[in-house]
Structure 1
Amino acid sequence: MDRLSEMEAFATVVDQGGFTDAAKKLGISKSAVSKHVSSLETRLGARLLNRTTRRVSPTEIGLAYYDRARRVLTDAGEADALVTAMQAEPSGILRVSVATDFGVNHLSPILGGFLHEYPEITVNMVLDNRFVELISEGFDLALRIGELEDSSLRARKLAETHKMMIASPSYLEEYGRPARIDDLNEHKLLHYSNQSGGNVWRITAPSGEKRQVRSAGWLTVNDGQSLLHAAQGGLGIAFLPAFLYADALRDGSLVPAIEGLDPEVQGIYAVYPPGRYTQPKVRAFIDFLVESFRDRGAGDW
């Protein structure tokens, strides 16, 4: 006989307190339940149930076996549900957290394509420049840019972006162009206030050395688009990703602040809670994003 069927019959007898109710629960005959339990006891070489005319109860060995058997049956049920869920059409509410700058400029324009492809999914996109706690705040996934902090979250890389110091030609004409990283200490830097390390820029020197620059400026703000506008207005030097400054670089309203200094390369990631499997709606969205940004180079924004 099937070992799992034997376990299920035995566990149901214990749960229901007898063979008759167990048979009703399982939708099989009482004699079939009895055969399953007898076969199990024979195979194990132990009596698992105390049988009287009035009630059936597990023996000490039977109770210990029941605890393990119930866990096995629960895992088996979850395995079956997993297969069903993974084959199901992606559906449900998808809560996504994304930084305002990237969400407005690069995620919002492509959402229509995703929703038309998966009409059973409803997207709830939250634009926020703070670092959200996915699990406690109920998000299915978040898009994050830059080096990921150590965490138990799962992550998939979607694309890369350059990060570079940029300034307007008018600012550089008035204050001079820094020739090297140390010269930044004499300039007005435009800071992003949501950085975990405060108003500190971490820059890779041509030698490969990691440098830290801290300098005062006229503006500290928690929005990248505002920093971009401030740089275009000649208020100082900003350190921004290419998905924000690319158009301004092309039209000449902004230029590299330090000539010859290679831009930093940052990853753009989808991060989502850990688990034994990825929900179909989450998997569908991540696959869609990977495909959407597949041909996007670090500077091609």
Structure 2
Amino acid sequence: MDRLTEMEAFATVVDQGGFTDAAKKMGISKSAVSKHVSSLEARLGARLLNRTTRRVSPTEIGLAYYDRARRVLNDAGEADALVTSMQSAPSGLLRISVATDFGVNYLSPVLGEFLSEFSDITVNMVLNNRYVELISEGFDMAVRIGELEDSTLRARKLTETSKRMIASPAYFEQYGRPEKIDDLNEHKLLHYSNQANSAVWKLTAPSGEKRQVRTAGWLTVNDGQSLLNACVGGLGIAYLPSFLYADAMEQGLVEVAIPDLPVETQGVYAVYPPGRFTQPKVRAFIDFLVHSFADKGPDVWK
């Protein structure tokens, strides 16, 4: 007889408390259930059930075997569900969290194409500049930029963005251009306040030395696009990702503050909760984003 069927018959008898209810649960005859359990006991050379006219209960050995058997059966059921899920068409509500700047500029423009391709999926995209807890807040996935703080999440890299200090030609004409990191102490720095410790810029000197520069004071904004606008308006120097400033730099509206510094890069990731398998709707969207951003970054964002 099939080993897994014997195991299922035994576990169902324990779960249901008897052969009659187990037979109803499995959709087979009572005698068939009994035959499966007897075959299992004969193969193992041990009595797994105590049988009386009124009740059936597992023996001490049977109880220990039940715990392991139930795990095996659950794993088998999950394996079947995995195959079914991976073959089913992506559908349902997809809740996405993404930073406002990136969402407005790069996710919103491609959502129409995604929804046209996957008409059974509906999207709820939440734009904000705070760190969200995916599982507790009910999100299916998020797009995050920079170092990933939560190592328990699964992640797939979509692309990279470079990060530079920039300001407008008008600012440099009025206040001069810094030549080295220490010169920043004499300049007007614009503070991006949407992340913890964002009042500190972590820079790398030409020698490779890691430096930190405090930036709070002149202007604090929790939105990257607003900081870019402040830069273009000549208000100061900001430290921004290339996906924000690329167009402005191409138009000559901003310039790199200290060109000799090594260019910092940050990863752009799709992150989603851990699990034995990925939901089809999540997998479909991540695959779509990988394709959409294949020609983007670190400095190319057209």
**Interval of TM-score (by shorter of Structure 1 and Structure 2):** over 0.9
Higher mean alpha-carbon deviation, 56-65 vs 185-194, is at: 56-65
Distance 2:274 2:211 in 1: 34
Give the match for residue 234 of structure 2. 234
Q: Is the 8 A contact 2:201 2:215 kept in 1?
A: no
Identity %: 80
Q: 1:41 to 1:250 in 2, by over 3 A?
A: same
Give the match for residue 272 of structure 1. 272
Matched position secondary structure for 1:225: helix
Give the match for residue 207 of structure 1. 207
Matched position secondary structure for 2:135: helix
Distance 2:212 2:144 in 1: 22
Give the match for residue 39 of structure 2. 39
1:73-99 CA-partner distances (Å, limit 9, x unpaired):
222112211211121111111111110
Matched position secondary structure for 1:96: strand
Q: Is the 8 A contact 1:161 1:243 kept in 2?
A: yes
Following superposition of structure 1 onto structure 2, how do residues 86-101 of structure 1 map, counting pairs within 5 Å? 86-101=86-101
1:179-212 CA-partner distances (Å, limit 9, x unpaired):
1111111000001012321411111111221111
The runs of 5 or more residues in structure 2 that have no matched partner are none
Q: 1:186 to 1:216 in 2, by over 3 A?
A: farther
1:145-175 CA-partner distances (Å, limit 9, x unpaired):
1122252111111011111111111111110
Correspondence 1:119 to 2:119: yes
Distance 2:52 2:170 in 1: 96
Following superposition of structure 1 onto structure 2, how do residues 1-301 of structure 1 map, counting pairs within 5 Å? 1-149=1-149, 151-301=151-301
Higher mean alpha-carbon deviation, 83-92 vs 107-116, is at: 83-92
Q: Is the 8 A contact 1:115 1:121 kept in 2?
A: yes
Q: 1:38 to 1:134 in 2, by over 3 A?
A: same
Matched position secondary structure for 1:195: coil
Matched position secondary structure for 1:134: coil
Give the superposition deviation at 1:42. 0.5
Matched position secondary structure for 1:252: coil
Q: Is the 8 A contact 1:184 1:215 kept in 2?
A: no
Give the superposition deviation at 1:116. 0.9
Higher mean alpha-carbon deviation, 261-270 vs 154-163, is at: 261-270
Distance 2:261 2:16 in 1: 74
Give the superposition deviation at 1:64. 2.6
Matched position secondary structure for 2:54: coil
Distance 1:238 1:183 in 2: 14
Q: What TM-score does the superposition give when structure 1 sets the normalisation length?
A: 0.95
Give the superposition deviation at 1:46. 1.2
Higher mean alpha-carbon deviation, 177-186 vs 58-67, is at: 58-67
Distance 2:215 2:65 in 1: 68
Q: Is the 8 A contact 2:191 2:215 kept in 1?
A: no
The runs of 5 or more residues in structure 1 that have no matched partner are none
Distance 2:148 2:15 in 1: 48
Q: Is the 8 A contact 1:188 1:216 kept in 2?
A: no
Q: Is the 8 A contact 1:48 1:63 kept in 2?
A: yes
Matched position secondary structure for 1:136: coil
Distance 2:195 2:29 in 1: 67
1:124-160 CA-partner distances (Å, limit 9, x unpaired):
1010011111121111111111122252111111011
1:41-87 CA-partner distances (Å, limit 9, x unpaired):
11111112222333333223223322322222222112211211121
Distance 2:215 2:129 in 1: 22
Give the superposition deviation at 1:29. 2.0
Matched position secondary structure for 1:119: coil
Higher mean alpha-carbon deviation, 22-31 vs 126-135, is at: 22-31
Give the superposition deviation at 1:31. 2.1
Q: Is the 8 A contact 1:187 1:215 kept in 2?
A: no
Letter in 1 for 2:167: A
Higher mean alpha-carbon deviation, 258-267 vs 184-193, is at: 258-267
1:250-289 CA-partner distances (Å, limit 9, x unpaired):
1111111123334311111111111111111111111111
